[in-house]
Amino acid sequence: MTPSEIAPHIEKLRKRLEEVKEKLSDPSIYTRQDECRKISREHQKLEDFFKNFTKWTSSLSQLEENKKMLGAEKDEELKTLISADIQTLENEIPLLEKKIRLSLIPQDPNDSKNIIVEIRPAAGGEEASLFTSELFRMYQRYAEAKGWRTELLDLTTSGLGGMKEVVFSLAGDNVYSRIKYEAGVHRVQRVPATEASGRIHTSTVTVSVLPEIEEIEFELRPQDLRFDVFRSSGNGGQSVNTTDSAVRATHIPTGVSVASQQEKSQHKNKAIAIRILRAKLYEVQKAEEDAKNAEAKRSQTGTGDRSEKIRTYNFHQNRVTDHRFGITIHDIPGILDGDLDNLLDQIILADCDRKLKAL
């Protein structure tokens, strides 16, 4: 990326910065708190962008000048100083370029939202159930490292320590902006613990990532909802409820239905079911809107469709490969222990590059 390549975007951002400054100079905006906060955040973001952009262009010019000086300089001591300065600039420039690339991409309005994640085994029987539990632990550990809060919403375990289904929420700073790239089919290739012959099996697990939607953003009309209560089946033989505390919520117009049986309180399970149902219906609505714009749909990458195989975990080769962006990391133990930043950072940059080309 060069300054000339992004010049049209820079000019648009300069105009927008002037517009934002003009709005903030109007005293009346401070009586409208929501608008004021929104404009203030945008102003800070634009100021940070141009601070990085100025430093980046200055560093590029300085690097070019230093290289010319190095070629012409005869004094060995000065050449050493110039070389050290070149090394510093060559380390700083890619970091500044990364920040600029990320800033140029129009922000997903859901990026700052908390999320609801659903993980379910697909193909592979008990082995897929076991890997479902490993992915859940991976996201738990990653959330701990990021300082996010994890809340278990629903869980059904299998007989050998795996999970038939797990639903949980993650809350914190910009959760959706990173975990949205996890949506899709995760494939695992390894020798199961139950396999006596040592043959490698292939199993798949689906991960669904839904931005958590507030009631004011997406209203569920009471007349469109039906609630059914039933007795919890228990979690893999653990304490089974003796009352009808589990709740199934159905959105009558669409037929979308979710159930919650994690809590012993029917009231709490109903609240959880409504949270999940609202997120699912919002996602359905968003998908329908996206489908109306064919050009926008073609430009999307990693849409989160469950039929899309996004990643393979090959234990024999200690390899994790993201198929959408052709990214491979040889560190399965680290990844499954929650060390996801290296992988996600590369994915986000690759996605940004594609979106910049689309612009």
The DSSP call for residue 30 is: G
Confidence check: pLDDT of 146 > 90: yes
For 242, the 3-state DSSP assignment is: coil
Task: Say what percent of the chain tops pLDDT 90.
Answer: 38
DSSP string, 235-270: STTSPPPSS--EEEEEETTTTEEEEE-SSS-HHHHH
Whole-number Cα distances in Å, 89 to 55, 66, 147, 257, 295 = 11, 10, 32, 56, 39
Q: Is the pLDDT of residue 219 over 90?
A: no
Angle, vertex CA 151, rays to CA 227 and CA 180, nearest 5? 95
- Residue 136 confidence (pLDDT): 95
Distances (CA, A) of 70 to 50, 84, 93: 30, 11, 19
CA distances from 219 to 170, 211, 279 (A): 22, 15, 11
> What 3-state DSSP class applies to 258?
strand
CA distances 130 to 155, 238, 286, Å, are 13, 18, 32
Counts for the chain of helices (H) and strands (E), in that order: 9, 11
Distance CA 24, CA 72 (A): 50
Run of H or E including 260: strand 256-260
User: How does DSSP classify residue 106?
Assistant: P
Q: How many CA atoms lie within 13 A of 357 on its CB side?
A: 9
d(CA 194, CA 158): 15
Position 53, amino acid: F
Instruction: Tell me how far apart the alpha carbons of residues 325 and 322 are, in angstroms, rounded to a whole number.
Output: 6
Q: What is the pLDDT of residue 135?
A: 95
**Cα–Cα–Cα angle for 335, 338, 341, rounded to 5 degrees:** 75
C-alpha distances out from residue 257 to 40, 149, 252, 319, Å: 40, 26, 9, 37
Pairing of strands 184-190, 327-329: unpaired
Residue 196: its pLDDT value, please? 62
Asked whether the predicted pLDDT for residue 306 surpasses 50, the reply is: no
Which residue, 302, 333, 318, 304, is CA-closest to 189?
A: 318
Across 60-69, 218-227, 238-247, 348-357, the highest mean pLDDT is recorded for 60-69
What distance in Å separates the CA atoms of residue 19 and residue 288, rounded to the nearest whole number?
Answer: 33
Query: Structure tokens of 325?
Result: 């962006």
Average pLDDT over the chain, rounded to whole? 84
Q: Cβ of 159: how many Cβ atoms within 10 Å?
A: 10
Whether 62 shows a pLDDT value over 60: the answer reads: yes
* DSSP annotation string for 130-177: HHHHHHHHHHHHHHHHHT-EEEEEEEEE-TTS-EEEEEEEEESTTHHH
pLDDT tier at 216 (50, 70, 90 boundaries)?
Answer: low
Beta strands in 11-129 (DSSP E): 115-121
Percent of the chain with pLDDT over 70: 88
Write out the two tokens for 353. Answer: 């590059």
Which run of H or of E encompasses 99? helix 76-104
* Tokens at 87, concatenated: 């090394």
CA 52 to chain CA centroid, Å, is 24
Where does the pLDDT of residue 342 fall: very low under 50, low under 70, confident under 90, or very high at 90 and above?
very high
3 state DSSP class of 331: coil
Judged against a pLDDT cut of 70, whether residue 290 lies above it is answered with no
